[in-house]
Amino acid sequence: MCTVTFVPQGADDFILTSNRDEQASRSPKGLSTETRHGQQLLFPRDTEAGGTWIVTADTNRLVCILNGAFELHHRTPPYRKSRGLMALDYFDYPNFEPFYQNYKFDGMEPFTMVVYDQGALYDFRWDGQKSHLKALDTQEKHIWSSATLYDAPTKAKREKWFAEWQEENDSYDLDAILHFHRFAGDGDPWNDVIMNRAGLVQTVSITNVIKKGATIELLYHDLLREQRKQAELSLNPQKVGSQ
């Protein structure tokens, strides 16, 4: 998994969208909540490992995980911890810097972590040996594709689709973003944005995180059951670090 886009919606607002490409058996039916250090977390919980690939908090923070760093890696389990549980662990830290400096990444399977933390956006990757960090402009549009499913030429093709989508649209609202995440591609079911590889791995859901003013909303589109779940948090950034 996955395909992820970040689309700004003004000075401090954005829509981050994640297509989850996974085994159907791991797809949850709804949304979960959890409280960590005074922060209310909202996320879909993976039915196998108990973690998540995308989680947001009422402190104006967000984490989204993609499998792999830059290219397909050779798996050497057992790993120290599920990457989805690491996404929840992020909220044990007051901001990105102490997480980056202090979390134990040794023994973790390679990943790409997209982090939005109170106005700052990061692309953080762990390749199994070392970390790679890039700060991103929150006023630019970004796209990521999982390194374990999509090779470099396919990722480049998907970046081209995203660029063409931008050229074809006058506005980049939720409907336009969902249209991209549902229909972008060239008819190849293995590599389109909605993908299906003989039912073994397929796009099981689309999740939107919509930050608008003093609220953050999560829309979970369950493609397997053709259902939509929705929840909203009122933002209170001052809660970060409280117990």
Along the 243 residues of the chain, how does pLDDT read in single tens digits? 699 999 999 989 999 999 999 999 989 988 999 999 999 999 999 888 889 999 999 999 999 999 999 999 999 989 999 999 999 999 999 999 999 999 999 999 999 999 999 999 999 999 999 999 999 999 999 999 999 999 999 999 999 999 999 999 999 999 999 999 999 999 999 999 999 999 999 999 999 999 999 999 999 999 999 999 999 999 998 887 544
Phi, then psi, of 46 in degrees rounded to 5: -60, 130
Rounded Cα gap, residues 34 and 40, in angstroms: 6
Q: Taking the CB of residue 171, how many other CB atoms lie within 10 A of it?
A: 7
In DSSP terms, 123 is beta-bridged to: 114, 134
pTM reported for the whole predicted model:
0.96
Kindly provide the residue ranges of all beta strands, DSSP E only, lying in 118-187, ordered along the sequence.
120-126, 131-136, 142-145
Q: From the centroid of its chain, how far is CA 54?
A: 5
Residue whose structure tokens are 């993976």: 46
pLDDT of residue 48: 83
pLDDT of residue 242: 46
Q: Answer for the pair 151, 128: CB distance below 8 angstroms, yes or no.
A: no
Q: Answer for the pair 138, 163: CB distance below 8 angstroms, yes or no.
A: no
pLDDT of residue 146: 97
pLDDT of residue 241: 59
pLDDT of residue 49: 81
Q: Answer for the pair 12, 28: CB distance below 8 angstroms, yes or no.
A: no
Rounded Cα gap, residues 210 and 225, in angstroms: 22
pLDDT of residue 243: 40
pLDDT of residue 80: 95
CA atoms within 13 A on the CB side of 108: 23
pLDDT of residue 1: 63
